Structure formats: structure tokens, C-alpha cells
Amino acid sequence: MTQVSKRYIPPWTYSRILDVFLGSFLKIRDKNTASLFFDEFLTPTEKIMLAKRITCLYLIYKNVSILECADIIKLSTATVAKYVIFMQKTPTIRKVLEKILNEEKFMKLIDKIINEYLYPPGSVGTHWASAGREKIAYERRKHSPL
């Protein structure tokens, strides 16, 4: 459980605290650095909570049903429904999620081009067992909401 001091913080101090906090996130440029930063900065419980919250918002943005979203992330349907209402009120989060979704669509397009057109399974000279495993993995990626 998080604990916040009840002592008064002047507005200019609070503003500076937020500047330092947000500035530290803006300095992170790659996944490896972000992973190390969050490992040191957050407790395991806080990391799971934030990851579930962001993933839930992302799935809601992708129009995944409340029941399916709750099942995938292991949240209650009431929590997911709360995030649905939250998403309707926050245009900034929708803009960020739209950028993530556009990047994902681009990556899926590249994956489709590679797996269906450049190197389709079953071409001459393929190792059939590995081609079958790759096809199954591709089908799973194609139909996964995450």
C-alpha cells in the first residue's frame, strides 16, 4: 500500500517535484534502460499494477470485450468496467494508445509480409517440422489480442 505524507508541500515545490519526476521518464530512450530503471524504482507489486493498468487500457482501446480483457489480465470485470469509463473521459491516453496501436499494426503488416509472401511455409527445401512450428506461432500472433 502506498503511503503519502500528510505534511503540506508548497505549490512551487510540488511543481518542481513533478518536473523532476516527469523529466526522469523523458530521459529513458530504450527498453533495456527503462526495464533497469523500473526494476530499481518500483516494487514488484507496483510494476505489476502499472503493467496491468496500461494493458487493460490498451485492450479496451482495441475493443476487446470486458470479459475477455478480465480473463487475459486476471482482473475483475468491475475493475475493467471502471477503466472503460475512465477511457471515455481521457483523450490524452487515447492519443498515446493510438500511437502504440499504429506501431503494432505496422509490425503486424511486416510480420504478414514476411510469413505469407516472402517465406511461406511449404516452399521447396524447407524443413517441414520447423515450418509447421513457425506457422502455428504466426497464427497465434495473428489472432492474439495482445
Domain for residue 105, yes or no?
Answer: yes
Q: C-alpha grid cell for residue 54?
A: 496500461
pLDDT band (50, 70, 90) for residue 140: confident
Asked if residue 114 and residue 73 are part of one domain, the reply reads no
Least confident of 5-19, 65-79, 98-112: 98-112
Give the per-residue pLDDT at 67.
Answer: 92
Percent of the chain with pLDDT over 70: 89
How many domains, the chain? 2
The mean pLDDT value of the chain amounts to 83
Domain for residue 19, yes or no?
Answer: no
Residue after which a domain boundary falls, among 45, 62, 89: 89
pLDDT band (50, 70, 90) for residue 81: very high
Q: How distant, in Å, are the alpha carbons of 12, 26, 93 from that of 15? A: 5, 16, 22
Domain for residue 119, yes or no?
Answer: yes
Asked if residue 85 and residue 39 are part of one domain, the reply reads yes
Rounded mean pLDDT, 112-116: 70
Long-range Cβ contacts of 125-131 (<8 Å, 24+ apart): none
Domain for residue 60, yes or no?
Answer: yes
Give the sign of the dihedral formed by CA 113, CA 117, CA 118, CA 119. Answer: positive
DSSP string, 62-90: TT--HHHHHHHHT--HHHHHHHHHHHHH-
Rounded mean pLDDT, 117-146: 72
Domain for residue 10, yes or no?
Answer: no
- pLDDT tens figures, 7-16: 888 889 989 9
Asked if residue 81 and residue 36 are part of one domain, the reply reads yes
Give the per-residue pLDDT at 127.
Answer: 72
Asked if residue 41 and residue 70 are part of one domain, the reply reads yes
Q: C-alpha grid cell for residue 48?
A: 505489476
Domain for residue 121, yes or no?
Answer: yes
Domain for residue 1, yes or no?
Answer: no
- Give yes or no for residue 112 having a pLDDT over 70: yes
Residue 71's domain spans which residues?
31-89
Instruction: Tell me the one-letter amino acid at 63.
Output: N
The gap from C-alpha 90 to its chain's centroid, in whole angstroms, comes to 17
- pLDDT tens figures, 8-61: 888 899 899 889 988 888 888 888 888 888 888 888 888 888 889 888 998 888
pTM: predicted TM-score of the whole model, two decimal places: 0.67
Asked if residue 74 and residue 110 are part of one domain, the reply reads no
